[in-house]
């Protein structure tokens, strides 16, 4: 069974920092793009940041300059370092991986279970 699991969420004060991790495990042939998304209560899920296997990154305007996405291909893990956190960053953060289980199969997206990030004022 292939799965992705997030960790590192929690409660922090405004201005603080948090580092989230997401590890993909199971029978995986390759992983292309990995990314972080978030969803606040009553709102749509939105892009936070993505990173390709080659290291190209993309950020939402709301997090540019504060968040940094990175990955360790050898560990099939993606991270997001979140600095200068604001109450508006409060949401469930989800990890996404674009992967193949074999070289013959098609590419599909797999979501993690989510981890709660709460920023207090």
50-100 tens-digit pLDDT? 999 999 999 999 999 999 999 999 999 999 999 999 999 999 999 999 999
Residue 1 has pLDDT above 90, yes or no: no
30-54 tens-digit pLDDT? 999 999 999 999 999 999 999 999 9
Distance CA 2, CA 4 (A): 7
The pLDDT score that the predictor gives to residue 121 is 92
Q: How far is CA 108 from the centre of its chain?
A: 16
The beta strands (E) that lie in 1-121 are given as 3-7, 10-13, 18-25, 30-39, 46-51, 57-59, 67-72, 77-82, 91-100, 108-111, 115-120
């Amino acid at each position: 069974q292939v799965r992705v699991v997030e960790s590192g969420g929690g409660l922090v004060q405004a201005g603080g920092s948090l580092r989230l991790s997401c590890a993909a495990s199971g029978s995986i042939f390759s992983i292309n793009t990995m990314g972080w998304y978030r969803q606040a209560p009553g709102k749509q899920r939105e892009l936070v940041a993505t990173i390709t296997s080659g290291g190209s990154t993309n950020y939402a305007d709301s997090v540019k300059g504060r968040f940094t996405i990175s990955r360790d291909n050898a560990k099939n893990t993606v991270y997001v370092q979140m600095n200068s956190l604001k109450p508006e960053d409060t949401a469930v953060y989800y990890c996404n991986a674009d992967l193949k289980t074999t070289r013959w199969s098609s590419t599909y997206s797999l979501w993690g279970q989510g981890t709660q990030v709460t920023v207090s004022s």
